[in-house]
Chains A and B, each alone.
Chain A
């Protein structure tokens, strides 16, 4: 992922174990004095081979495995997978299940954005905000634990529906928690927009124009902060987003400050959507029956994860195990923006720039093969399959 040739320059290597981010990733910044002239990212420390592992597990076991692609956005991975498998099996989950999926997904988005707010503030040296936002995040963690029974991997989805239900007591508790969080989010918006020190670190730092964002293939809040109107919940509603539409939130500045504002405004919209779901929660069954063997076919399932567009490709040959599962996660798409906008900034801005895209290494460490025009080669499926068999033998 090298952006610029960094020969003959002083290079600052960072990682893979480093105090800035809690996950392993290796960065090389070429600097001239204090100014960064080139940036390179090396990923792959957390590559575990989940896609291949999924081929050895059956359809139900894969929900468990694929939730563990990422601990922060686990529910959305399971949702993308179950929606895809349901499409293959020609089954539609009941409306109540879809609503509960949407509800948990939105709660997860709140938890992810508050987590990111804290981490990004920490990278900027603003530890007070880190502590405050993580304290308030415990509220939404409590809600998720109350609804699903676990703080991190919720295991809400099953093929054909969900396995948890809401009752009046839980609904009251969620409303109470949301009221508190909404008040706090308004406070954070005020801090982000008015605190001089904070604005000094974020305003006009890492500015990315709309054209750049589109060319580099940015997704999610990073793209929306540059004015790209791209949100799958609006463009291609899935699960419960038909009945409970969300607002598309964008900003035009494209700098770090805009990314803070977009994410916090998204939280506010999450509260509104969750309240709407609680007001008009459909009744009925929680799950429908899904056959153990999924009919032959292939499908693409797209959802909007907290970090952007998440795509699952699922192929079945009619057995009780998938033939192929391909995951495309949002974090990987956003790395290109970091290496491009880093050039010309001070080295001290790098941690915040890195955190600005909300990187999640556990989901972005996957195999990518980039074919350059001068060394492209075409493999037939048979060759590729043979290569795979030999490789894993």
Chain B
């Protein structure tokens, strides 16, 4: 949490309410910074009836100015780098980034291609990494839930339920 903490008890109470609201309904935007679409269709699949991530209160938003969470896929290409940084800067504080897919984690299969800068973490700070090429929708949901857990102050435990996050 990057918010400035004031000693004022009223402010503290307000922060708690904000944090509670954020955890109950994080709004996300999705940006493809050079991915092959595989992760993007799996992110879309999490919104559709079988996986239905909206039951956790997570809503996909169109504008970065309304979003708390940036779900980012793919290696960062030279063209997309500036856009990615701009979108990150447009998001209001506090903001969180979930990198989805092997390419987003390390460059994946595209390592060494001339137009690829590298992983998302090379460009913007990343909070949650979801591995897989592409990760299953369950794994993406698991990653989001881990982020929400860490917001609540719990320590995320990647080992717990790891079998479900293949």
Contact = CB atoms under 8 A, between A and B. Distances in A.
Contacts of A360: 37
Contacts of B37: 23, 70-72, 360-362
Given A46-B32, A71-B39, A115-B41, A153 B64 contact: no
A115 B37 CA distance: 12
Interface in A6-25: 16-19, 22-24
Contact of A17 (B31, B34, B49, B50): B31
Given A68-B110, A118-B48, A135-B48, 7 more contacts: A22-B40, A48-B77, A48-B113, A56-B112, A68-B109, A153-B38, A361-B37
A279 B45 CA distance: 32
Interface stretch (B6-14, B19-27, B79-87, B141-149): B79-87
Contacts of B77: 45-48
Interface in B72-119: 74-75, 77, 79-80, 83, 87, 108-110, 112-116
A27 B64 CA distance: 18
A152 B102 CA distance: 14
A49 B116 contact: yes
Given A131-B49, A153-B134, A46 B30 contact: no
Contact of A45 (B34, B61, B113, B133): B34
Contacts of A52: 113-114
Interface string A357-370: 00011100000000
Contacts of B74: 46
B36 A44 contact: no
25 contacts: A17-B29, A17-B83, A22-B40, A22-B44, A23-B40, A24-B31, A46-B32, A47-B34, A47-B77, A47-B115, A48-B116, A52-B113, A53-B112, A68-B36, A68-B133, A69-B36, A71-B35, A71-B38, A72-B41, A130-B48, A131-B49, A134-B49, A141-B45, A151-B42, A362-B32
B113 A46 contact: no
A142 to B, nearest CB: 10
Interface string A127-161: 00011001100100100000000011100000000
B89 to A, nearest CB: 12
Contacts of B50: 135, 138
Contacts of A41: none
A391 to B, nearest CB: 9
Interface size band for A? 35 or more
Contacts, number: 123
B45 A16 contact: no
A171 interface: no
A334 interface: no
A45 B116 contact: no
A23 B42 contact: no
A134 B49 CA distance: 8
Contacts of A16: 80, 83
Contact of A134 (B32, B45, B112): B45
Contact of B134 (A24, A71, A115): A71
B48 A134 contact: yes
A193 B110 CA distance: 43
A64 B109 contact: yes
A72 B37 CA distance: 7
B136 A151 contact: yes
